[in-house]
Amino acid sequence: MARLITFVNPKRTLSVSVTGSACQLDCAHCGGRYLSHMVPLSDLVAEPGRCDAEITSYLISGGCSDQGVVPVVQSLKSVRKIGPDSGRRINMHVGLISDESDAQAIGAVADVVSFDFVGDNRAIRNVYGLERSVDDYVRSYELLASQCRVVPHVCIGLDGGQPSGELSALRMIRDLGASEVVFIVFIPTPGTRFADRQPPELSYVRTVVETARSLFSDGTVQLGCMRPRGQYRSELDRMCLDLGVDSIVLPHRDTVERAHEMGLEVVWAEECCAL
């Protein structure tokens, strides 16, 4: 039987921000730039008809508080209205949490939570400016996982393209019981403090993905949508395909051709990979 590879074009998932373009953190790798590409939740609630009928799910995210919390709990009534009450699934990005009641409230609405897991205290300070620790990420993951399905996301090269505790993160989330992981890759983004940095060396990315494939040999390893474009993406995607990842979001066309040449069984999906 041919190996299966899933390619994802998440055109049926709409990205929604509960804070509009506002974020209190001004993270070094983002600076709020990516919020501008999201639809404000308030706009969807005010004009339900603006959502295309082909949209079958939402990624609910937003800017963070100064404690690294995405304030989704305060917006759950609206999220429920546009999501479960309208027959659409919800993937929720919530940041850090510390309260069991918040985890319960999130779990009652979310089909899945995409959780950014960081395995290095220095990266947490350098990128987010937070006086938080890896232990806070572990605690948040445990609270959320007790209430709903959680898909850990690990950003390779988070700290300006440098190794950022990814291998430690993988071992921790495996020990925490995770059976799947989504990788994203640091993008030098104009207008941010890390704009002049470079993406992580592909040799290091290879080490991280190989480690994940070994640790999650009975699970799922995915390459998510946030990663550099151009030649870097072409080489990255092809490498990950060869290393045996289970799915790639918005694959480079060279990688699609490569999959067919390899005789793989290719399946296309149309919602956010965590769903």
Please give the pLDDT value at position 116.
98
What six digits make up the tokens of 62?
Answer: 């937003």
State residue 199 phi and psi, 5-degree precision. -60, 160
Please give the pLDDT value at position 232.
98
The average pLDDT across 81-91 equals 92
pLDDT in tens, 115-136: 999 999 999 999 999 999 999 9
102's enclosing H/E stretch is: helix 100-107
Please give the pLDDT value at position 195.
97
pLDDT in tens, 229-263: 999 999 999 999 999 999 999 999 999 999 999 99
For 47, what's the count of Cα atoms within 13 Å in the CB-facing half-sphere?
6
Q: Which CATH class is domain 13-201?
A: alpha beta
The average pLDDT across 50-58 equals 87
Collapsing DSSP states into helix, strand and coil, what is residue 179?
Answer: coil
pTM score over 0.85: yes
Q: Could you tell me the pLDDT band of residue 53, with boundaries at 50, 70 and 90? A: confident
The average pLDDT across 89-110 equals 97
Q: Where are the domains of the chain?
A: 13-201
User: Packing angle between helix 230-243 and helix 253-261, nearest 10 degrees?
Assistant: 30
Q: Could you tell me the pLDDT band of residue 52, with boundaries at 50, 70 and 90? A: confident
pLDDT in tens, 179-193: 999 999 999 999 999
Say what percent of the chain tops pLDDT 90.
91
91's enclosing H/E stretch is: strand 89-92
What six digits make up the tokens of 113?
Answer: 């939570």
Higher pLDDT, 45 or 160: 160
Around Cβ 118, how many Cβ atoms within 10 Å? Answer: 27
pLDDT in tens, 157-170: 999 999 999 999 99
List, edge to edge, every strand of the sheet that includes 247-249: 39-40, 13-17, 57-61, 89-92, 112-116, 150-156, 180-185, 220-223, 247-249, 4-8, 265-269
Residue with tokens 């605690």: 139
Please give the pLDDT value at position 93.
97
